[in-house]
Amino acid sequence: MKALTRKLWRELWQMKGRVFAITLVVTSGVATFIMFISTVHSLEFTRTKFCHDYNFADVFVNLKRAPENLKDKIKDINGVNQLETRVCAQAKLDIKGFAESVTGKIISIPDDGKLLLNRLYIRKGRLPEPFRDDEVVINETFAQAHNLNPSDQFAAVINGKWKKLTITGIALSPEDILLMKAGAMSPDFKRYGALWMTRKAISKAYDMDGAFNDVVLTLYPGAKLSDVIIDNILGRYGGLKKKGSILAEDVGKGLKNAGDEIEKFGKKFLLSECLECDSCQMHQLCFLTFTFPEVTQQI
Partner 1 sequence: MSDLKEKFFQVRELTKIYKMGEVEVHALRGVNLELYAGELVVLLGPSGSGKSTLLDIMGGLDTATGGFVSYRGKELTNATDKEFTQYRRFHVGFVFQFYNLISSLTARENVSVVTEIAEKPMVPEKALDLVGLSERLNHFPAQLSGGEQQRVAIARAISKNPAVLLCDEPTGALDSQTGVVVLQALERINRELGTATAIITHNVDIAGMADRVIHLSNGKIAEVTVNKVKKSASELQW
Which is nearest to 285 in space by CA: 274, 276, 293, 277?
274
Residues 6-43, buried b or exposed e (16+ Cβ, 10 A)? eeeeeeeeeeeeeeeeeeeeeeeeeeeeeeeeeeeeee
Residue 3 or residue 185: which is nearer to partner 1 going by CB?
Answer: 3
CA distance 180 to 178: 6
Q: What angle do CA 80, 84, 87 make, to 5 degrees?
A: 140
Which is nearest to 219 in space by CA: 73, 60, 107?
60
Residues 72-103, buried b or exposed e (16+ Cβ, 10 A)? eebeebebbeebbbbbbbebebbbeeeeeebe
Q: How far is the CB of 18 from partner 1 (least distance, A)?
A: 15
Q: Which stretch binds partner 1 (CB under 8 A): 9-17, 31-39, 65-73, 200-208?
A: 9-17
Contacting residue, 7, 49, 96, 253, with partner 1 by CB under 8 A? 7
Residue 7 or residue 264: which is nearer to partner 1 going by CB?
Answer: 7
Q: How far is the CB of 24 from partner 1 (least distance, A)?
A: 24
Size of the site for partner 1 (CB under 8 A): 8
Told to check if 10 binds partner 1 by CB under 8 A, we report: yes
Q: Which stretch binds partner 1 (CB under 8 A): 1-9, 39-47, 152-160, 184-192?
A: 1-9
Told to check if 16 binds partner 1 by CB under 8 A, we report: no
Contacting residue, 4, 99, 185, 282, with partner 1 by CB under 8 A? 4
Strand 102-109 relative to strand 192-198, pairing: parallel
Told to check if 3 binds partner 1 by CB under 8 A, we report: yes
Told to check if 11 binds partner 1 by CB under 8 A, we report: yes
Residue 2 or residue 256: which is nearer to partner 1 going by CB?
Answer: 2
The alpha-helical segments, DSSP class H, found in 76-169 are 140-146
Told to check if 17 binds partner 1 by CB under 8 A, we report: no
Interface with partner 1 (CB under 8 A) = 2-4, 6-7, 10-11, 14
